[in-house]
Structure 1
Amino acid sequence: RPGAVVDPALGRWADSPFKRGLRQAWQAAAGGALALALAFAALWHPPRGPAAATLAWLGLTLLACTLAYSGVAILHQAWGTRWGGAPAWRAQVSAWREGATLLGVVLASALPTWLGLDGTSAVLAAALGAGLLGLGWLVRRPGAAALPTAAVAAATEAPSPPLPPSLTTAASPWRDAAFRRLLAVFMLNGVAAAIPATLLPFFMADRLQAAGLQPLLLLIYFGAAALGLPLWLRAVRRWGLSPTWRAGMAASVAAFACTPALGAGDGAAFAAICLASGLALGADLALPGALLTGVIHQAGAGQQGEGRYLGWWACATKLNLALAAGLALPLLAAAGYHPGQAAPAGLQALAWAYGGLPLLLKLAALALLRRAEQRHPTWRDTA
């Protein structure tokens, strides 16, 4: 994943246009969106010629897509992070962003079948254009760099003032102990979520023998996650960000606990697990980003150095899936599992890798978050 390697550099780059003004940030986002749309469309139309030329074309256009997407995504996240605000407001901003992303993922999975690759490219370009129009509207609003007052009034909360800066804006995020602790929790929890995502096709086909149910179960899972977001936002107003995230982790553990015991013919039971764990997923979507916004502002990097933090955050997000594959697949091979086989020992290893290993990692993340919360009491604030 080349984007993960350069994400920290893209994060440092993203700070530059913001320092010159929101209009320059919008122009940078527009340039990245145009590059993404063109590269994505070109990806499906390699020139005719030798196989080596086709592979080179695919490699270059895919690299361009990845880099352009990473740059635009970091700029977009930095825009929302600059607002800061009270915990419930930060969670709301993060939930809307991640909820829209989730909806986009679900739609994108179906668009090639409905519209073909060229139609999908057109929808991507239209969606990027609509997003840029929305950001352009924000740029033209007076005081757009600050927290939108109408939104704060609707939430009946005022933005909390940042603590005195503990870092200079030129310092590395790695000098921020709060960021290091939050990133460790985020990665441990992310790997716990990425392992089932990596192993799902094998688990559905070989353990449950219900590969045809996979699209429906994914729809149930992601649909439940979207529906659960408002519930987690209400919980933040009562408990605070970190305690609510811990509750989401605990709910995920409870929902997933009996997964290793499932076998052939248990598709209905697994659908119920997907529904429950999808509801718990809403906490993982909305709350880490909201906590990160607080960490950035308390470090004195709000409205001037968000990109440096978000670049490493984006890198960690992409590494989670790579680490999950690098951890789970070799362990399964060592345990004797091979895709398509029906040996009982291999299938049991698959069940424990799919449902057991993530539970251990999730519990470790929960404990690590509880310890970090004790060192950073503001993570429990409700206002």
Structure 2
Amino acid sequence: MKPALAYGLLGLPLAMAALPVYVHAPTYYAGQLGMALSTTGWVLFGARLIDTVQDPWLGYLIDRRAGRLSGWMLCAGLLLAISFAGLWLAPVQGSALIMWLVVMLIGIYTAHSMLNIAYLAWGARLGDQAVLLHAAAWREGAGLIGVVLASIVPGYLMAGQQVEQGMAWYALAFALLLALGIVALLYRSLPWLGGGEKQSWREPLANLAFRRLLLPYFLNAVSVAIPATLALFYIRDRIAAPQLSGAFLAAYFVAAALGLPLWVRLAKKIGTAKAWRLGMILAVLAFAGAALLSAGDVAAYAVVCILAGLALGADLALPPVLLAGLISPLHSPASYYGIWTLLGKLALALSGLALPLLAWGGYQPGVAGQGGLSLALTYAALPCAIKLLAMWRLNLVIRQQATLKGFAP
């Protein structure tokens, strides 16, 4: 097995436990298990908020254990596999279901953070900028395969007659992929080149270039998380094509995977930050018309999915590489990525509030004509506005950091 491939494999199961969980959990618990939509949204928000505060601390612990991560990652993998299975195989009903969802989500988020922060920090210490972009392409490519699988398979299983049995097999397959990814990373991957000096988790905030990058990254993450949370609702109740949900999601993520080599090549040519900015522009152009779509606009929405998917490739691959270029060789990277993933999780937490917002706007899942305009505006127009703010802030960063590697004009 090639070292770069061995590094990238873990991206597949980690991606399966990230955005797809956020996409499918609301519809699964509200549609299959009968939990109220607004309650599901508040649970998603609360669980993410509780989990978010621990990431800088986890990054600090990982820095302290650099080079001795086998036990850490194996324990985290076990917790993630158990929590992932528990999310889809809830043994309780009624009010107890709310607490069960909270506990399983926190378990998934915590274990995912333990693995993901170490994984990203590992990737930041693999070599020069070209090596980082190559490794990021493998990681995000494998991740997009995981996202495609996790986007299509649960929806197919939930539409069947034996949902619980199907989700049990799905959880088992996830556990096997997770075990393969961890073993490949620990024993067949590119080595972690150095660890830098140990530091407080707050020390990265003293890095001015890092602080400047946080706001555009956070705003962009919110703009991606909102439509991800609402995609299945939009496809079912705005486009009126729930039978094509898997196809739309597959088109979105396959387009992202196919676009990865293009973004890597473009970043090498014009700079990582400028390539990311072009990705933002493409995303706004793709989503701008989605607010105007209505029932039956299947072909037009397919085009939106493909273009937005291409833009997603830039959002996934380029920001972590951009961050890696800002970390001093004298500093350990996990503390940086702890703060980085904190913002990503906060963005997902805020996207969960879109569900109570839709309920306030009169939207009712599965009820024709109830809050359709509110759904369209929240799904498409709001993310475009936030993405434009992110792009404006990134433009300022590019000008301010023009002399730094990765930001060269």
TM-score by length of 2: 0.75
User: In the alignment, which of 233, 255, 270 is matched to residue 239 of structure 1?
Assistant: 270
User: In the alignment, which of 286, 310, 314 is matched to residue 337 of structure 2?
Assistant: 310
Structure 1 pair 307–334 and aligned structure 2 pair: CA distance change class (3 A): same
Are residues 1:126 and 2:176 paired?
yes
Aligned twin of 2:216: 185
Structure 2 CA distance for aligned equivalents of residues 111 and 379 of structure 1 = 41
Summarize deviations over 1:67-103 as a string: whole Å, max 9, x none: 22221121111111122522x3322222221221221
Structure 1 pair 247–29 and aligned structure 2 pair: CA distance change class (3 A): same
Structure 2: segments with no counterpart, 5+ residues: 1-47
SS at match of 2:295: coil
Structure 2 CA distance for aligned equivalents of residues 4 and 243 of structure 1 = 29
SS at match of 2:69: helix
The one-letter code of the counterpart of 2:333 is E
Residue 255 of structure 2 contacts residue 309 of structure 2 at CA under 8 Å; is this kept in 1?
yes
Structure 1 pair 34–207 and aligned structure 2 pair: CA distance change class (3 A): closer
The one-letter code of the counterpart of 1:371 is L
Aligned twin of 1:29: 73
Structure 1 pair 339–5 and aligned structure 2 pair: CA distance change class (3 A): same
Aligned twin of 2:199: 169
SS at match of 1:318: helix
| Alpha-carbon distance, 1:33 to partner | 1.7
SS at match of 1:297: coil
Summarize deviations over 1:244-280 as a string: whole Å, max 9, x none: 0011111111222222221222111110111111111
CA RMSD of aligned residues (A): 3.2
Aligned twin of 1:373: 398
| Alpha-carbon distance, 1:138 to partner | 4.6
User: In the alignment, which of 205, 218, 241 is matched to residue 236 of structure 2?
Assistant: 205
Aligned twin of 2:297: 266
| Alpha-carbon distance, 1:200 to partner | 2.1
Structure 1 pair 280–58 and aligned structure 2 pair: CA distance change class (3 A): closer
Are residues 1:145 and 2:192 paired?
yes
Aligned twin of 2:123: 80
Structure 1 pair 264–132 and aligned structure 2 pair: CA distance change class (3 A): closer
Aligned twin of 2:379: 354
Residue 373 of structure 1 contacts residue 380 of structure 1 at CA under 8 Å; is this kept in 2?
no
The one-letter code of the counterpart of 1:80 is G
The one-letter code of the counterpart of 2:119 is H
The one-letter code of the counterpart of 1:75 is A
Structure 1 CA distance for aligned equivalents of residues 167 and 245 of structure 2 = 23
* Larger-gyration structure (1/2): 1
The one-letter code of the counterpart of 1:100 is A
User: In the alignment, which of 89, 92, 106 is matched to residue 148 of structure 2?
Assistant: 106
Summarize deviations over 1:105-133 as a string: whole Å, max 9, x none: 32234556398344333323322332233
Residue 238 of structure 1 contacts residue 382 of structure 1 at CA under 8 Å; is this kept in 2?
no
SS at match of 1:319: helix
SS at match of 1:14: helix
| Alpha-carbon distance, 1:146 to partner | 2.6
Structure 1 CA distance for aligned equivalents of residues 70 and 289 of structure 2 = 48
TM-score by length of 1: 0.80
Structure 1 pair 33–55 and aligned structure 2 pair: CA distance change class (3 A): same
State the percentage of identical aligned residues. 41
